[in-house]
Amino acid sequence: MKVLVAIKRVIDPYAKIRVKSDGTGVETSNMKMSMNPFCEIAVEEAIRLKEAGVAEEVIVVSVGDTSVQETLRGALALGADRAIHIEAIEELEPLSVAKVLKQILEREEPKLVLLGKQSIDTDNNQVAQMLSAITDRPQGAFASKLVASDTHVTVTREVDGGLETNRLEMPAIISTDLRLNEPRYASLPNIMKAKKKPMDLIKLEDLDVDVISHQTILEVTPPVARSAGVMVTTVDELVDKLKNNANVL
Amino acid sequence: MGSKTLVIAEHDNNNIAADTLKTLHAASQIGGDVAVLVVGNNVTAIAESLSKVKGVTQVFRVDTKQFKHPTAEDVAPIIVELSEAFTHFLAPATTFGKNLMPRVAALLDVGQLSDVIEIESPDTVIRPIYAGNALARVKSNDSKLVMTIRGSAFDSASTNSQENASVEALESQASQQPLASFIDSQQTLSERPDLSSAKVVISGGRGLGSKENFALVERLADKLGGAIGASRAAVDAGFVSNDLQVGQTGKIVAPELYIAIGISGAIQHMAGMKDSKVIVAINSDPDAAIFEVADYGLVGDLFEIMPELIDKVP
């Protein structure tokens, strides 16, 4: 089967972000960027499906400016077969991303689509579910285990209070949780080989997507900083502070 | 035009989830009527108790055997059928709401506001981005607003209103959709309070070293009547089950007292606990980032500190 993985380029998860002083957003220039960690897990799962003989071809797709080509190359170096870059200058909202991906699904007809459960910048946790809705495909959100066959996929999902297992008829859409797998690193020879793998470029305006701004960000502010705490030196002092100063014991 | 809000109730066919009441409180802040939709099996009692929640004017009940464990594919079309009469659609930002609501939003062809922590006006909310390191004030341009509500940011709605809302049983939309079906669930059983709503949370991290040592966290939690949580490192190392992970991708908690034991304080962990009222950090590394948010910090050997602390707390 053909597997499609949608990936996003985000500020590195270990970087400390800075809110712009004019309140328009978060400083992204000169920040280290990387593949969204949940997307890495989606790519890894697709490659494992290929190694297991379940998937024949793994396609990675990303929406964004030319810099996302680096992220796509990264996925090719991990083992994806080819990449599709949908060039869009402005950052798209989740529903627009879902509509763009729908068009790619119509062209490529993958049986399984894998996405990360959320991107660590906007923290929306929406695209996979939205894509499932508009393509009328079943969704397996927050997957920690999946067993795929030609007819269906059995997906174990991380839910509050434990795990839930669902059966989804193919074609299906899965969003990955942290627990699904441990992503591999790309080796140098594979990074070199990835440079020769095909990457299609599609301009957003060449797709039949009406990009609508459903939301306007009025202001971005830093959260209220906590006031400085105190260091105590003994357990007795800690218990005393919690009892008498904080009144929580 | 006035607002009319539909809240999708999360429950397990026996009890209403705590976050549903928080979402109902958020719904009351929008202004206008608030209706609740309950989809399940044998949910008459739940529908009755929801009709007594303050601010609720109408309860819709879809009750059928096939919906004992409804999927998002089952529930989303029911909401869409009811959508004509409503301007706002709210569910808790739990795995239930996160799974369901984007599907609803896309079917309505509108955006979604995820993890809302403050409702400023019927069309403007505040939500955290970048693991809570920035807050976005967002205005929706849609005629229908779909939101998930972060429970830890809202109080619970009162459950003993004088005026009972009417309960309307809707025609059972029997699960005809063939795409997705429930197979089974494995719940983590615990006698301790629920992590998301506990007043006291004791969390352990990699510093505990082993699953056996995690018992120190459990003993302190039991002494304080608190819930246990964990960092990603502790979950990955197999000390506790995944659903106890606190952080950006796990549970978001804001208890009265949060005690972090052997947790360094990665950005992703802090996203899940830094709105706690009082934070205590116990760690052997004096440079651990967790001390930057802690109200009270104690540096030292966990295995000396913990038994003493368990002994000395009331």
Task: With residue B136 as reference, give the H or E element that holds it.
Answer: strand B134-140
Answer whether A28 touches B (CB < 8 Å): no
pTM over 0.90: yes
For the segment A92-118, the average pLDDT, to the nearest whole number, is 98
CATH number for the domain harbouring residue B292: 3.40.50.1220
Position B174 scores a pLDDT of: 67
Q: Is the pLDDT of residue A45 over 90?
A: yes
Per-residue confidence (pLDDT) for residue B2, from 0 to 100: 87
Both B204 and B160 in one domain: the answer is no
Quick check: A215 and B96 CB within 8 A? no
Task: Please check whether residues B92 and B231 belong to one and the same domain.
Answer: no
Examine the fold and report which residue of B119, B154, B169 is the final residue of a domain before the chain moves on. Answer: B169
Distance of CA A150 to the CA centre of its chain: 25
> Is there a domain that residue B158 lies in?
yes
For residue B132, give the chain A residue with the closest CA: A223
Which of B46-55, B162-171, B258-267 is predicted with the least confidence, judged by mean pLDDT? Answer: B162-171
Q: Give the minimum alpha-carbon distance from B166 to chain A in angstroms, rounded to a whole number.
A: 30
Distance, first Cα to last Cα, chain B: 55
Q: Distance of alpha carbon A189 from its chain centroid, rounded?
A: 26
Spatial CB neighbours of A174, under 8 Å, sequence gap ≥ 6: A42, A45, A112, A113, A114, A115, A128, A139, A140, A141, A143, A146, A153, A155, A168
Task: Tell me if B264 is assigned to some domain.
Answer: yes
A224 pLDDT exceeds 70?
yes
In this structure, is residue B192 part of a structural domain? no
Please, what is the average pLDDT of chain B? 96
Contact B185 A159 (CB under 8 A): yes
Q: Whose CA is closest to B147, among B128, B129, B125, B131? A: B125
Provide the percentage of residues in chain B whose pLDDT is more than 90. Answer: 94
How far apart, in Å, are the Cα atoms of B185 and each of A70, A161, A164, A166, A170? 40, 10, 4, 9, 21
Domain final residue, candidates B149, B169, B189: B169
Neighboring chain B residues of A155 at a CB cutoff of 8 Å: none
The answer to the question of residue B292 being in a domain is yes
Asked if residue B190 is part of any domain, the answer here is no
- Rounded CA separation B260/B202 (Å): 6
Q: Indicate if the pLDDT at residue B175 is higher than 70.
A: no
For the residues A190-209, what does the mean pLDDT come to?
97
Selected for mutation to probe chain B from A36, A157, A248, A249 (highest B CB count within 10 Å) is A248
User: Residue B173 has what pLDDT?
Assistant: 67
Q: How far is it, in rounded angstroms, from Cα A148 to Cα A170?
A: 9
Quote the pLDDT of residue B61: 97
B162 & B273 share domain: no
Nearest CA-CA partner of A129 in B148, B254, B202, B297: B148
Mean pLDDT of B151-163: 92
From CA A36, how far away is CA A62, in angstroms rounded? Answer: 11
Q: Is B31 annotated as a binding residue?
A: no
Helix (H) or strand (E) holding A78: helix A68-78
Are B165 and B216 members of one domain?
no
With cut-offs at 50, 70 and 90, classify the pLDDT of residue B162: confident
Token reading at A89: 């200058």
Q: For residue B163, is pLDDT > 90?
A: no
Our CA dihedral for B98, B59, B196, A243, rounded to 10 degrees, sits at 150
Q: Where are the alpha helices (DSSP H) in chain B?
A: 18-30, 44-51, 72-82, 95-107, 215-224, 232-236, 267-270, 302-312
| Segments forming the whole domain that contains residue B209 | 200-312
* pLDDT in the model for residue A212: 93
Residue B74, in any domain of the structure: yes
Round to whole Å and give the CA distance between B157 and A197: 56
Residue B37 has pLDDT above 70, yes or no: yes
Instruction: Report residue B226 CA to chain centroid gap.
Output: 17
Residue A225 structure tokens: 């900083």
- Contact in structure between A155 and A49 (CB atoms under 8 Å): no
Residue B52 has a pLDDT of 96
Q: What is the pLDDT of residues B21-31, one digit of tens each?
A: 999 999 999 99
Element (H, E) at B194: none
> How far, in Å, CA of B59 to CA of A203, rounded?
47
Please state, in angstroms and rounded to a whole number, the distance separating the CA atoms of residues B160 and A14. 46
- 3-state class (DSSP) for residue B29: helix
Statement: residue A84 has pLDDT above 80: yes
State pLDDT tens for residues B215-252. Answer: 999 999 999 999 999 999 999 999 999 999 999 999 99
Residues of A within 8 A of B178 (CB-CB) are 169
pLDDT of residue B1: 58
Inter-chain touch A216–B141, beta carbons under 8 Å? yes
Beta carbons of A120 and A40 less than 8 angstroms apart: no
Q: What would the 3-class secondary structure string for A30-45 be?
A: CCCEEECHHHHHHHHH
Q: Do the domain assignments include residue B130?
A: yes
Q: For position B270, what pLDDT does the model report?
A: 97
B51 is in an annotated binding site: no
Both tokens of B193, joined, read: 């309070």
The CATH number given to whatever domain includes residue B100 is 3.40.50.620
Name A147's bridge partners. A154
Helix (H) or strand (E) run with residue A134 in it: helix A127-135
The predicted-structure confidence for B110-145, as pLDDT tens digits, reads as follows 999 999 999 999 999 999 999 999 999 999 999 999
Same domain, yes or no: B31 and B157:
yes
Domain-terminating residue out of B126, B150, B169: B169
The reply to whether B23 and B158 lie within a common domain is yes
Q: Percent of chain A scored above 70 by pLDDT?
A: 100
| Residue B147 and residue B27 share a domain | yes
Question: Is A60's pLDDT higher than 70?
Answer: yes
pLDDT band at B161 (very low <50, low <70, confident <90, very high): confident
Specify the number of domains making up chain B: 2
8 Å CB contact of B180 and A138: yes
A76 pLDDT exceeds 80? yes
The answer to whether A215 contacts chain B (CB < 8 Å) is yes
B208 and B164 in a common domain? no
CA distances from A221 to A17, A216, A217 (A): 12, 15, 11
B44-70 pLDDT, tens digit each? 999 999 999 999 999 999 999 999 999
